[in-house]
Amino acid sequence: MHILVATDAAYVANDVTAALSGPDVSFTICSEGREVSRLVSEGGVDLAILDLQIGSKGGMAVSMDLRLDHSSGSIPDVKVLMLLDRKADVHLAKRSAADAWLIKPTDPLTLKRTVRALLFPAPEPAPADDAGAETVEEDAPVAG
């Protein structure tokens, strides 16, 4: 799995990489929001973790750019996890079509769970087919 971490705060990059590091995980750290789409266009990015502020461009604008670039076919689809500064910023994440968001500071376990849920969603249960279901009344013996 390859994760793009876009933030201009070294502590955010350190927290994310420390929490998500593993033998099958690699990272690209980007400190300028304007570079994110280009890095995603190069391929291989499974998840973009965007801080609310990334150099001269905010995470909301970067997320919107990723969605627009994907809709035009110029970059592959990538999951977006936005790291917010406060609860009041949740509307920004929703408006920018982020797949998920967390409010900083994030604890490592919550970050891991969120990433796992984004990249490996649990399968939805199959819809029940009631047409062939038997009822208790159908199973009752007939007196005769």
Cβ-Cβ contacts under 8 Å for 98 (sequence gap 6 or more): 50, 59, 63, 80, 81, 82
When pLDDT is cut at 50, 70 and 90, the band that residue 140 belongs to is very low
108-126 pLDDT, tens per residue? 999 999 999 999 988 877 7
Residue 142, pLDDT > 60, answer: no
54-112 pLDDT, tens per residue? 988 889 999 999 999 999 999 999 999 999 999 988 998 899 999 999 999 999 999 99
Closest CA to 81 of 23, 1, 143: 1
Find the mean pLDDT for residues 46-60.
92
Give the pairing of strands 47-51 and 2-6.
parallel
In the prediction, which pLDDT does 124 show? 79
Closest CA to 116 of 87, 79, 83: 79
Q: Backbone dihedral region of 43: left (phi > 0), alpha (psi from -120 to 50 degrees) or beta?
A: left
Helix (H) or strand (E) holding 112: helix 108-119
In the prediction, which pLDDT does 129 show? 62
18/97 Cα distance (integer angstroms): 26
At position 116, the amino acid (one-letter code) is R
Give the pairing of strands 53-54 and 57-58.
antiparallel
Is the Cβ–Cβ distance between 102 and 114 less than 8 Å?
A: yes
**Domain boundaries, given as residue ranges, for the chain:** 2-120
Lookup: tokens for 31: 């400190």
7/51 Cα distance (integer angstroms): 5
CATH topology of domain 2-120: Rossmann fold (3.40.50)
In the prediction, which pLDDT does 1 show? 93
Residue 45, pLDDT > 60, answer: yes
